Each structure stands twice: as structure tokens, then as C-alpha cells.
Amino acid sequence: MSEIEAKFDFNELFVSITDKRGVILSGNEVFVRVSGYQRSDMIGAPHNIIRHPGTPKCVFKLLWSTIQADKPILAYVKNKTKDGLPYWVFASVYPIAEGYLSVRIKPGSPLLDQIKVLYEELVQVEKSKGVAASEELLKRRLLELGFNDYHEFSLAAAKAELTHKQSTISSETSKAQEAPQFRLNQHTISEETRFMSGLCGRNNEEFIDVSRDFDHVFADSDAIRTNLSSIIQSIRRFESLSVNMSLASHRLGSKGQTLATVAERFERCSQVLLGQVDKFEQFNERNQTKVKELNHVLNRLRLLNEMLEFYTREVADASSRHAMREIPNWQMIQNDFTIMIREVISLFQETNQHTKRAIDELNDFQQVLKSSRIAIRNLDIVRITGKLESASSAQLEKSFQPYVEEMLGFIELTDRNLSGIEEAARHYQFVYDKIRTLCLKSTSRLLELELRNLRVRFIETTPNKPSEAA
């Protein structure tokens, strides 16, 4: 029988900020509402007041060791309300200057069911054998699921949960309106915050589009690996071809000189191509790492983007109902929003750098592809030249014909494999360029967001002056 959980929606986000010790400095309305605590009771309390014993200690240990090393982490966490009701979140925790920023969404992908079973097993092991035993068990279970570590698992989890969230909620496209005129009144504040929400919404729409394109990058990476494997197998298979041609040339005596020359040229060209394939393999290995790193950053960025949009909607809704000074903890909300904007801008800049390095690597790889094309053309020239020269003797032509056919088969197969790699590389370039464009546009929007946040502060703190008599 499934336990009763605290209710909240897939389109809601928890946001909280703690200091370096884990003491709560602030939290949004969803966090306060679901936790069941009064805001005044939460601020200054340790974040572990919502900790549920159903989350294994080894997971918390991993979480804290990661963020204390100044690295972000994504993790499933089981929390509890003041009344003891459990609720699951997929948490994204970021080290910031003030301490730690945590953004949580409601999980619902098939991975959650696996995690529930795994966490229960880990908790039982901790009770009987201790945390060290549960850490080892966690590693084993993740390997059984096909993940090298929790970090790799969290990448797959982030993608699964964001995809599930997107498909579950009925998304109403947020569109930025025209910038409102600057008027010092309450209506202006509501307009400003809604405009800010629209900016975040546009970022999210474009981000979802880029994320779909990035999904294909993994397929492109697999295509490169498959085609590389085929090229290597072909070269290994045909390495004996030049040896067999040399042996055949010796049997033909003086008439076999042409065949010997072709064998030597074929060997030289295939060795050049084999050298290029080594570079392909090195690229693919480095690129796999870069794709994983970029995927991790993109998933974190997507969560933070959604956090900003949700936060601006919360503020916009509150500002339409109350004067700013009547909104609980308004100053805290403003400070938190500034922190969030700067964190997202920083992450966009990090994403931009990751993408730039990937593009530089891709440009080098494309030069290797060009060199490989030249090697294939040279091989074809060797084949055609040998075929023409062997035509001078019926015996030589008959001896050379099987090798001509084998060479042609090798050239055509390698050409197809190179075409597959080139197509994948072109798509890489397209997606990477798209990500960089999004980074630049989004950074510009976020700077606009920060400016408007300052404007709202100015409006809120500036009293309306009576108009002067004419």
C-alpha cells in the first residue's frame, strides 16, 4: 500500500537558500506552504528540519561532500512536512556566495520508482551494517542500472524528470509583452514583474527547443563511433591486401613490377588513413566527455531557467494582489531574485565556454576529415592507375583484377563511413552554434531582467510625488 504524501503540482518549484552550514536564509511560497511550517519558524532553522529518514545517509553524505567541494549536484530526496507527511523532490543544489541555492521539482518519471526501492534497501543496510556498506551498495546498484556513478545517474535522471514535467503539465506559452511605460505606481510594478516573467518564459521555450536538438547529439556521437568502428575493421581487413599484392608481383617476375608499385602505394595510403582513424578515436573519446559535461550544464541551466520563470510569476501574482510593502518578506524576495539571476547568468557563461571548447575541438576534427578524404582520393587514384597499367598484359590484368575489386570495395565502404561521420559532425556544429546563440541571447535577457528587478526596487521605495500646480 502506497503511503500518503504531501500534495504539490508538477508545475510548482521549491526554492530555498541556506548558508554554508545549511541554515535556511529564505524560501519561496511553495516551500513554506508544503513544509507546513510558518516562515518565521523556518528562517534560521537548519534545513534538515524537513529531512525524512527515508533518504539514505550515504546520499546526504554525497550531496554535502559535492557542494562543499564547490560543485553542484542533482539528487532525489525524500522530505517530510511539519506533520510528518513525506514528499519526494528532485533537487538541484548550487554553491553560491551566500551559501547554497536549492531548486526542487516534483519527480514522476519511471526512475523514481527505481529510486524508491533502492533508497529503502540502502536505509535497511545502513541500519544493520552502517553508511560505508550502503555507499558500496549504492555503487553496485548504479552499475547494475548502467551508470558508472551517481553523477552519471543524475544526468539521466535530470533529463527524465524534466521531460516528464514538460509532458505532464499543460504549458501555457509565456510571451513577453511590450515594455511598459515607466510610471511610479502599483500597476507599473505588476506590469514589470509580468514582463520579467515573460522574458524568462521566452528563455525556457527556446531552451526546450535546444534541449530537443541536443538529444540528437547523443545519436550523432553513436553514429561517429559506429562508422569509426567500421573504418577500423575495414583497414584491418585490408592490411593484408598490400602484402598479398606484393607476393603476387614476385610470382609474376619482371611483369609484376606494376603490381608491386601499386601494393606499395596502397600500403602507404592506407597507413595514412589509419593514422587519421587514431585521431578520430581520440576525438570521439574527448567528445563523449564534452557532450556529457555540456549535457549536465544544460540540465542544470534548464532547471534554473524554470526557477526564474516560476519565481517571477509568484512575485507578479503577489504584486497584483498586494502593495509591495504588504508582501511578506518582500526585501528577502528581491535579494533572492538578484542571487538567482546572477547564478543563471554565471551558468550561461559556463555553458558558453563549454560549447566554445566543443566547437574548437570539432573544427580540428573537421580538418582531420578533410585529410581522410584526400587519403581516400589517393587510394582511388592508385586503384585506377594500377588498373590502367595492368591492361598492358593479359596475365597481369587477370592477376590484378581481384585486387582492383577488393580495393574498390574498401574505398566505397570507407567513403560511406566518412560521409556518415561528416553528417554527424555537421549536426554537431548546428546544435553547438544554436546553444551559443541561446547563451548570448539569454544572457542579454537576464541582464535586462536584473535591470528591471532594480527598477521594481526603485519604484517600491520611491514615494509618489504630487504633481506641481500649473
pLDDT for res 181: 36
Indicate the CATH number for domain 13-165: 3.30.450.20
Alpha-carbon distances, residue 311 vs 30, 38, 169, 173, 194 (angstroms)? 10, 20, 17, 16, 11
pLDDT for res 175: 39
Please report, for the chain, the start and end positions of each structural domain, with discontinuous segments joined by +.
13-165, 186-461
pLDDT for res 204: 72
**What are the residue ranges in the chain where pLDDT is below 70?**
1-2, 170-197, 199, 239, 252, 254-256, 258, 315-337, 395-396, 453-470
Alpha-carbon distances, residue 13 vs 244, 274, 333 (angstroms)? 68, 52, 15
Distance in angstroms (rounded) separating the CA atoms of residues 294 and 292: 5
Residues 6+ apart with CB under 8 A from 352: 436, 439, 440, 443
Distance in angstroms (rounded) separating the CA atoms of residues 460 and 189: 8
User: Do the beta carbons of residue 122 and residue 60 sit within 8 Å?
Assistant: no
| Chain CA centroid to CA 244, Å | 49
User: Do the beta carbons of residue 191 and residue 315 sit within 8 Å?
Assistant: no
Would you say the pTM of this structure is higher than 0.75?
no
Q: Which three cell numbers stand for residue 365?
A: 576534427
pLDDT for res 76: 96
pLDDT for res 174: 41
- 147 secondary structure, DSSP code: -
